[in-house]
Amino acid sequence: MNCHPTLCGMLVEVDDGQVTRVTGDPDNPDSRGFLCVRGQAAPEILDNPRRLLYPMLRATRGGRWRRATWDEALDLIVQRMRAAGREAVATWPGHGIFANNYGTRIHSHLLRRFSNLYGCQWWSPAIICWALGGFGLGLTGLLEPNTKEDMGANANLILLWGANLASQPNTGRHLAAAKRRGARIVTIDVRETEAAAQSDETVLIRPGTDAALALAMLHVLVVEGLVDRDFVARHTIGFPPLAAHLRAHTPAWAAEITGIPAARIVDLARRYAGTRPAMIVVGGSSMHKASNGWHAARAIACLPALTGQVGIAGGGLGPRHGASLRGQVLGNIVALDRRPPGDDVPSQMTRITESLVSGRVRVLLLFGTDMLSSFADANRVAEGLARQDLVVCYDLFENDTARRFADVLLPSTSWLEELGCKATNTHVYLMPQVLPAPGETRSMPWLLRALAERLGLDDFFPWRDDVELVDAMIDVPATRHATVAALTAEGGMRAMDVSHVGHPDLTFPTPSGKLELFSELAVSRGLPGLPVYEAPADSPYPLTLRQGRTLTAFHGFYDHGQALPSLAKADPEPVLWISPADAAARGIPDGAAITLANARGEMRARAYVTSRIPAGTVWMRDGWSGLNTLTSGDAVLPDAAVEALGFSAGQAAFDARVDVTPLG
């Protein structure tokens, strides 16, 4: 599933056209033979009775599917696209189409090229993933991570701040290496995660209060003289206003908000400043899923800035999903300069939902994604999907969106049935096609070429074949000019020419080129100039719901794992973590059937009563049907800020306060 920055290597044994064995590749420098339970389940994709093998059409939603030819399906799609007009057509890709090209994002870039040349809406997949957290880090200026290898070899204190290992289990090997050297590991999270089990200590925090903790730690650095004044003078701007702003953000103030005792906040700040090198691994996505979550990333990025722990081995920010290292720049095929002017809906979740509901968008093409489970305020999204003239889902399996709203299903090839090329933070990998495409499954490039031909987009695919397409992306200085032919000759992998240390020359992608403790750019886009803590809105519902990951699921892959028997068996139904106190107050025993509800929606689940989560917080793995009927679809950033850093940070709030009751 490619939980970047890992991307495990597989050895696939094929006999007479059948896969006989899939094992971890011990020679893969990123994964060293490891495959998690998700990777081990991958062979269950092949020959799976639920797999989509043929284009399917139906006359009415909820009606029976019938098999169609590709020509019939594509002709219908193009006819509806033409009838709606290009600006009323939208494409939205998900992680599913990255399955064979994460890190290079070839299929996503190809879809963006198609959308730019045609002039339809294109929305970034990053709006449900790493981008909003990246926005917070990027306003301060710390976007480049140090690698997991650097963390294992050099960090002496590691703060796993909202960062779990369930998404990126390979990071665990490097944490273990750091521990063997005597490094101390601290987890900061809303519950005791898999990462907490690997840590020396766990700091449990109230959801949505991470910015308050970071501001109080910054306060301690300033009042106790723990600031690296030379570094701050040379490499940051805005220290005087930040220092003045921090006066009120005392540990006692933060203790009330976060639930963490003031003495512990002081101790954490002192240890962070007093340990060199110290690294912070910031969560990729879950911790930013609230209206104020991105403020935390912005404030956290000030900690290395004030202590001068930037651009050094073992310091800075650690491995983060979706982040790129210095020098990790691949080819650009998206043809943005050729996009015709038009009525563009920004990559802002709230605006996207509005465009579906209002009829501004009428034909929706979804690629490897389950929009209904991904977007916040799912009932409103469902309203918008119901109003579409045509919904097309291209995937390996049906998912909630496809079952309820698709008019056309297009069957996708899997990772062994097409040419693939991926990149981690440090290596580029080639995945040759080893199986014929089953049934009438087709690859993403094939599908987009067929659509482009029908639409008369002559220059959409200027390459002779998929090999030339891959070469156009990877034949760049960062890969030392890798090509498919060169990688094939080298056994399929090559180390990239990148720095294991983020911001090694202490330059930063901000308007000033320095770390910006105060950001004029933020002010110009309607945001506060300094990092702030914003209290969540009051709610009549008593429990704060958070969502995250388990080892058995990653994004919406394989109908959220339910299409693969071993993953479905391991994780068969929605389970809600709830504290013993909250469960007892509601008469809920462990394992009981429950309902979560608020004014927006409700869902059923089973209670997991555990002291690993504090009272007042409940938690569930993301993706379950109905979960996002409970979450807020309000915009987090002003539209003017969404693209301010060159990537789309238009995630909705996902805030959810709920109550939980026993069922029946």
CA-CA distance, 345 to 358, in Å (whole number)?
A: 12
> Rounded to whole angstroms, how far apart are CA atoms 450 and 78?
10
In the bound state with ligand SF4, the residue whose beta carbon lies nearer, of 6 and 413, is 6
| Minimum distance of ligand SF4 from residue 524's CB (angstroms) | 39
CB atoms within 10 A of CB 648: 21
Residue 432 beta carbon to ligand SF4: minimum distance, rounded to whole angstroms: 18
| Nearest approach, Cβ of residue 570 and ligand SF4 (Å) | 13
Q: Which residue is nearest to ligand SF4 (CB)?
A: 39
Whole-angstrom Cα distance, residue 582 to residue 543? 9
Residue 109 CB burial class (10 angstroms; 0-12, 13-18, ≥19)? buried
Of 165 and 352, CB closest to ligand SF4: 165
Asked if residue 128 lies in contact with residue 301, where contact means CB atoms within 8 angstroms, the answer is no
The nearest distance, CB 192 to ligand SF4, in angstroms, is 21
Nearer to ligand SF4 (CB atom), residue 169 or residue 318: 169
State the nearest-atom distance from the C-beta of 549 to ligand SF4, in Å: 11
Q: Are 218 and 226 in contact (CB under 8 A)?
A: no
Residue (151 or 214) nearer to ligand SF4, CB: 151
Closest approach of Cβ 41 to ligand SF4, in Å? 9
Q: DSSP character for 283?
A: -
Instruction: Decide if 440 contacts 430 (C-beta within 8 A).
Output: no
Alpha carbon of residue 61 to chain centroid: 30
What is the closest distance, in whole angstroms, from the C-beta atom of residue 500 to ligand SF4 in the complex? Answer: 20
In the complex, least distance from residue 326 CB atom to ligand SF4, rounded to whole angstroms: 23
Question: What DSSP assignment string belongs to 124-153?
Answer: -GGGGTTHHHHHHHHHHT--PPPPHHHHHH
Task: Give SS3 for 390.
Answer: strand
Maximum separation of any 2 CA atoms in the chain, in Å:
71
Closest CB to ligand SF4 among 171 and 275? 171
Strand-pairing partners, residue 186, are 159, 201
Alpha-helical (H) ranges within 206-345 are 210-223, 229-235, 239-246, 251-258, 262-274, 293-300, 302-307
Nearer to ligand SF4, 24 or 308 (CB): 24
- Nearer to ligand SF4 by C-beta: 310 or 323? 323
Residues at the site binding ligand SF4, with contacts judged by CB under 6 A = 1-3, 6-8, 31, 35-36, 38-39, 169-170, 554
Q: How far is the CB of 36 from ligand SF4 (least distance, A)?
A: 3
Tokens 């690993």: give the residue: 612
